[in-house]
Structure 1
Amino acid sequence: MAAPVPLAGVARAESAGAGTAAKPSGEAPGGPGTSAAFAPADKTGFGTSRTKESPVWFTLQGGRMSETYYPDLSTPASRQTQLVITDGKTFVERLSDGEARTEPCLQGGAPGYRLTSRGTGWSAVTRYVTDPERASVLIDVEVRSETGAPLQVFVLHDPSLSGEGNDDSAFPQDGTLVAKDKHAASALAAQDGFTESTVGYLDVNDGWTQLSENNGRLKHHYATAGPGNVVQVGRLRLDGCTRTRQTVVLGFGEKAAEAVRTAKRSLRRGFDAAAGAYERGWLEYLGGLPKAPGCLRTPSDQALYTASVVMLAASEDKLNPGAFIASPSMPWAFGTDRGIAPETGSYHLVWARDLYHIGTGLLAAGDRAAADRAMDHLLRSQLPDGHWSQNHKVDGTPFWTNIQLDETSTPMLLAWMLDRHDAKTLRHLRRGADFILKFKSEEGYKAPFSPQERWEEQSGYSPSTIASAIAALVCLADLMRRGGQGDDAAKYLEAADKWQESLDGWTVSTNGPHSSEPYYLRLTKDGKPNAGTEYELGNNTDGKVDQRSVVDAGFLELVRLGIKPADDPVIRNSLKIVDREISVDTPSGRHWYRYSGDGYGEQPNGEPWNVNRPEIKTTYGRAWPIFSGERGEYELLCGDRHSAQGRLRDIAATAGETLMLPEQVWDDRPPVPEVRSGKGTASATPLAWTHAQYLRLAWSLERGTPVEYPTVVAERYLHG
Structure 2
Amino acid sequence: MRILALVVLLLVAVTPVVHAAEVVPLPADKQGFGTARGGSPVWFTLGHQGLSEIFHPDLSTPATRETRLLVNGKPGQARTEPADDRSLTFRQRLRGDGWHAVLTYVTDPQRAAVLANVEFWAQRPMKLTIDHVPMKGTSTVESTLPTEPVRHARGTFAVEFGDGVARAALGRDFRAVAREYARGWHAYLDGLKRPRSADRRLYDMSVMVLAATEDKTNPGASIASPSFPWAFGFDRELAPELGPYALVWPRDLYHVSTAMIAAGDRGFAERSLDFMLRVQQQPDGHLPQNTRVDGTPVWLKVQLDQTAAPLLLAWHLDRRDQSTVDSLRRSADYLLSYPNSPFSEQERWENQSGYSPATIASVVAGLVCFADLLQRNGENADRYLAAADAWQRQVEGWTATNTGPYAPKPYYLRVTKDGKPDQGTKYNLGDNNPTDIDQRAVVDPSFLELVRLGVKRADDPVIRNTVAVVDAQLKEQGYWHRFTQDGYGETADGRPWGINWPEPTRTYGRLWPLLSGERGEYELLAGDKASAAQRLREIAATANSGLMLPEQVWNGRGTQSATPLAWTHAQYVRLAWSLDRGEPVERPAVVVKRYLS
Instruction: Give the TM-score taking structure 2 as reference length.
Output: 0.96
Matches of 2:152 and 2:575 in 1, distance apart? 50
* CA-to-aligned-CA distance 1:607-634 (integer Å, 9 cap, x gap): 1111136675111000000111111100
Q: Alpha-carbon deviation of 1:515?
A: 2.3
Q: Alpha-carbon deviation of 1:344?
A: 1.6
Q: Alpha-carbon deviation of 1:263?
A: 1.4
Matches of 2:151 and 2:548 in 1, distance apart? 37
Matches of 1:230 and 1:577 in 2, distance apart? 52
Contact 2:48–2:79 at 8 Å: present in 1 too?
no
Q: Secondary structure of 1:249's match?
A: strand
Q: Alpha-carbon deviation of 1:33?
A: 6.0
Matched, 1:50 2:37: yes
Matched, 1:158 2:133: yes
2:95 maps to which of 95, 99, 118: 118
Q: Secondary structure of 2:446's match?
A: coil
Residues 641, 608 of structure 1: CA spacing in aligned structure 2 closer, same or farther, 3 A cutoff?
A: same
Q: Alpha-carbon deviation of 1:270?
A: 3.0
* CA-to-aligned-CA distance 1:644-698 (integer Å, 9 cap, x gap): 11111111111111111100001xxxxxxxxxx0111000000000000000100
Residue 13 of structure 1 aligns with an amino acid whose one-letter code is: I
Which residue of the partner structure matches residue 69 of structure 1? 55
2:576 maps to which of 682, 698, 708: 698
Matched, 1:638 2:526: yes
2:80 maps to which of 88, 102, 118: 102
Q: Alpha-carbon deviation of 1:34?
A: 4.7
* CA-to-aligned-CA distance 1:361-405 (integer Å, 9 cap, x gap): 111111111111111111111111201100001111001111100
Matches of 1:568 and 1:659 in 2, distance apart? 37
Residue 75 of structure 1 aligns with an amino acid whose one-letter code is: T
Q: Secondary structure of 2:68's match?
A: strand
- Structure 1 gaps, min length 5: 1-10, 17-30, 87-91, 169-228, 253-258, 441-445, 667-676
Q: Which has the higher contact order (CA 8 A, sep 6+)?
A: 2
Which residue of the partner structure matches residue 418 of structure 2? 526
Q: Alpha-carbon deviation of 1:238?
A: 6.9
Matched, 1:38 2:38: no
Residues 239, 490 of structure 1: CA spacing in aligned structure 2 closer, same or farther, 3 A cutoff?
A: farther
Q: Alpha-carbon deviation of 1:342?
A: 1.4
Q: Secondary structure of 1:102's match?
A: strand
Which residue of the partner structure matches residue 9 of structure 2? none
Which residue of the partner structure matches residue 472 of structure 2? 580
Alignment of 1:128-147 (within 5 A): 128-147=105-124
Alignment of 1:538-553 (within 5 A): 538-553=430-445
Residue 295 of structure 1 aligns with an amino acid whose one-letter code is: S
Matches of 1:32 and 1:146 in 2, distance apart? 42
Matched, 1:455 2:349: yes
Residues 240, 630 of structure 1: CA spacing in aligned structure 2 closer, same or farther, 3 A cutoff?
A: farther
Which residue of the partner structure matches residue 153 of structure 2? 244
Q: Secondary structure of 2:314's match?
A: helix
Matched, 1:438 2:425: no
* CA-to-aligned-CA distance 1:417-447 (integer Å, 9 cap, x gap): 111111111111110011111111xxxxx11
Which residue of the partner structure matches residue 180 of structure 2? 277
Matches of 2:299 and 2:233 in 1, distance apart? 16
* CA-to-aligned-CA distance 1:113-133 (integer Å, 9 cap, x gap): 111111122212111100000
Alignment of 1:39-438 (within 5 A): 39-51=26-38, 53-86=39-72, 92-95=73-76, 99-106=77-84, 108-147=85-124, 150-160=125-135, 165=136, 168=137, 229-237=138-146, 241=150, 244-252=153-161, 259-290=162-193, 292-296=194-198, 301-384=199-282, 385-438=284-337
1:603 maps to which of 488, 491, 495: 491
Contact 2:234–2:242 at 8 Å: present in 1 too?
no
Residues 614, 484 of structure 1: CA spacing in aligned structure 2 closer, same or farther, 3 A cutoff?
A: same
* CA-to-aligned-CA distance 1:74-93 (integer Å, 9 cap, x gap): 1101000111111xxxxx31
Contact 2:205–2:547 at 8 Å: present in 1 too?
yes
> Computing the radius of gyration over CA atoms, which structure comes out larger, 1 or 2?
1
Residue 142 of structure 2 aligns with an amino acid whose one-letter code is: V
Residue 448 of structure 1 aligns with an amino acid whose one-letter code is: P
Q: Secondary structure of 2:509's match?
A: coil
Contact 1:151–1:238 at 8 Å: present in 2 too?
no
Residues 509, 116 of structure 1: CA spacing in aligned structure 2 closer, same or farther, 3 A cutoff?
A: same
Q: Secondary structure of 1:94's match?
A: coil
Instruction: Give the TM-score taking structure 1 as reference length.
Output: 0.79
Contact 2:160–2:166 at 8 Å: present in 1 too?
yes
User: Alignment RMSD, CA only?
Assistant: 1.6
* CA-to-aligned-CA distance 1:525-579 (integer Å, 9 cap, x gap): 0101011100001111111000000001111111111111110000001110000
Which residue of the partner structure matches residue 214 of structure 1? none
Contact 1:152–1:239 at 8 Å: present in 2 too?
yes
Matches of 2:501 and 2:121 in 1, distance apart? 44
* CA-to-aligned-CA distance 1:492-521 (integer Å, 9 cap, x gap): 101101111111110010111112621100
Matched, 1:661 2:549: yes
Matched, 1:564 2:456: yes
- Structure 2 gaps, min length 5: 7-17
Residue 294 of structure 1 aligns with an amino acid whose one-letter code is: R
Contact 1:238–1:244 at 8 Å: present in 2 too?
no
* CA-to-aligned-CA distance 1:452-494 (integer Å, 9 cap, x gap): 0000010000000000000000000001122232x2x111101
Matches of 1:450 and 1:307 in 2, distance apart? 36
Residues 156, 103 of structure 1: CA spacing in aligned structure 2 closer, same or farther, 3 A cutoff?
A: same
Q: Alpha-carbon deviation of 1:143?
A: 2.0
